[in-house]
Structure 1
Amino acid sequence: MRTNKKHQLLTFAIAIVEAKGLDALTYDSLAQASGFSKSGLIYHFPTRDALLLDINTHLAQCWEEEMIAYAGGRAEEVSFHTRVHACFSTMSASATRAELRMSLDAATNPAMSSPWLEVFDRWGVPVKMVEENPDLYLFQILADGLWVHDHINGVKLSPTQRTQLIERALAIFDEYIEPKTKEKS
């Protein structure tokens, strides 16, 4: 399957954000990295905000595709248990610098955060669970923590360590947290 030009440009843009940060992403830097003309870039992304929104949308779609693959189906096709496992397992992988930078920047902009929140609404543990089942929401926070861990602690978990933590957390969910969720249903 041929990759379309817009997808190629998003790949180059994400690589710039990964390597040099969000401020380094300009039409000039993207034109230089991709070999596209600035007018070609403007055709696909009329404004920098359009480019940033498309990057956020692309990253959120990739995130959801990972969850679908893990779960064996779309969110509406699988059980709550499977959605939680898929979301936790996907989020427990270390974020790339680009994912982290884009999601942090998007958090303060409703338009930019919308693609992430739409995916999270389908797969994640809703914040209302803090009142209903705080253990379940703590499980979500644990996933968030594993996602950012390697970037904020100066210590990178080995694949074996990360796998051990994920397996243990999922076992705790299955043994202690999910039964409490079912009791309240």
Structure 2
Amino acid sequence: MARTRQPELTRAALLDAALAVLRDHGAALSLDAVARAAGVSKGGLLHHYPTRDALLRALGFALIDDFRHKLDAAHAAELAAHGPARGAWLRAYITLTFTPDQDGEALHAALAPLAGHPALLAGLSEAQAFLLTDAEADGVPPGTAHAIRLACDGYWMGDLTGLPRLNGTQAQALRETLTAWTR
């Protein structure tokens, strides 16, 4: 990576490198591997992210932000295709849940090591508070809206938690059922 006096660009490049390392090596991410992937010294990495947890936390925030942009785009596509009918946001959430995404897998890998650090997770939880408010604002009864979102989250996080994975037929049945609940 070329030297830059634009720290925000450097931090973005370091997060891109961390994402690439997570994709290749999972949660075994090391600061040395990230520095190598970014083409900087370990000291350069530590200047911006003084600990592995700080790097993973920043990556978690970046991936949440990226997910929110993808969700906004999927919601806009749902609105364009079907108008402002109730459940449009939840259908977009369902669509993203059942669409394979390497960044989602990277988010799992980034968040897993933070599970034992409630203070670090607190900020990430606050950054995702929109999931509650947007689900409730979608015109579906709140209990149904949260059941849909939590079912999607459980499906999405199954690999991280070691839950048995649904086969293709089972996943499609779940997706159809959740979609029907949005109407």
Scaled to the shorter chain, the TM-score interval is 0.5 to 0.7
Q: Which residue of 1 aligns with 2:57?
A: 53
Q: Report % sequence identity.
A: 23
- Is the CA contact (8 Å cut-off) linking 1:56 and 1:113 kept in structure 2? no
Is the alpha carbon distance of 1:101 and 1:41 closer, same or farther for their aligned partners in structure 2, counting shifts above 3 Å?
same
| Partner secondary structure for residue 124 of structure 1 | helix
Q: Indicate which of 15, 20, 39 corresponds to 2:25.
A: 20
Q: Which residue of 2 aligns with 1:138?
A: 147
Q: Does 1:123 align with 2:131?
A: yes
Is the alpha carbon distance of 1:149 and 1:52 closer, same or farther for their aligned partners in structure 2, counting shifts above 3 Å?
closer
AA aligned opposite 1:86: A
Distance apart, 1:113 and its partner CA: 4.5
CA distance in 2, matches of 1:40, 1:137: 43
- Is the CA contact (8 Å cut-off) linking 1:6 and 1:44 kept in structure 2? yes
Is the alpha carbon distance of 1:157 and 1:117 closer, same or farther for their aligned partners in structure 2, counting shifts above 3 Å?
farther
After TM superposition, the score normalised by the length of structure 2 is 0.67
AA aligned opposite 1:88: I
AA aligned opposite 2:88: T
Q: Does 1:102 align with 2:107?
A: no
Q: In the TM superposition, what whole-angstrom CA distance separates every residue of 1:124-180 from its partner, at most 9, and x where no partner exists?
A: 379x9xxx854433222211122134564565755x975664344212221xxxxxx
Q: Which residue of 2 aligns with 1:62?
A: 66
Q: In the TM superposition, what whole-angstrom CA distance separates every residue of 1:18-63 from its partner, at most 9, and x where no partner exists?
A: 33233x3222121222221122212322333321221111111111
CA distance in 2, matches of 1:79, 1:54: 35
Q: Which residue of 1 aligns with 2:89?
A: 83
Structure 2 unaligned blocks of 5 or more: 1-7, 78-83
| Partner secondary structure for residue 4 of structure 1 | helix
After TM superposition, the score normalised by the length of structure 1 is 0.66
Q: Which residue of 1 aligns with 2:4?
A: none
Is the alpha carbon distance of 1:98 and 1:35 closer, same or farther for their aligned partners in structure 2, counting shifts above 3 Å?
same
AA aligned opposite 2:23: E
CA distance in 1, matches of 2:130, 2:123: 12
Coordinate RMSD, CA, aligned: 3.5
Q: Which residue of 2 aligns with 1:39?
A: 43
Is the alpha carbon distance of 1:32 and 1:145 closer, same or farther for their aligned partners in structure 2, counting shifts above 3 Å?
same
Structure 1 unaligned blocks of 5 or more: 175-185
CA distance in 2, matches of 1:113, 1:92: 27
| Partner secondary structure for residue 87 of structure 2 | helix
CA distance in 1, matches of 2:143, 2:132: 14
Distance apart, 1:115 and its partner CA: 2.8
Is the alpha carbon distance of 1:4 and 1:161 closer, same or farther for their aligned partners in structure 2, counting shifts above 3 Å?
farther
Q: Which residue of 2 aligns with 1:11?
A: 16
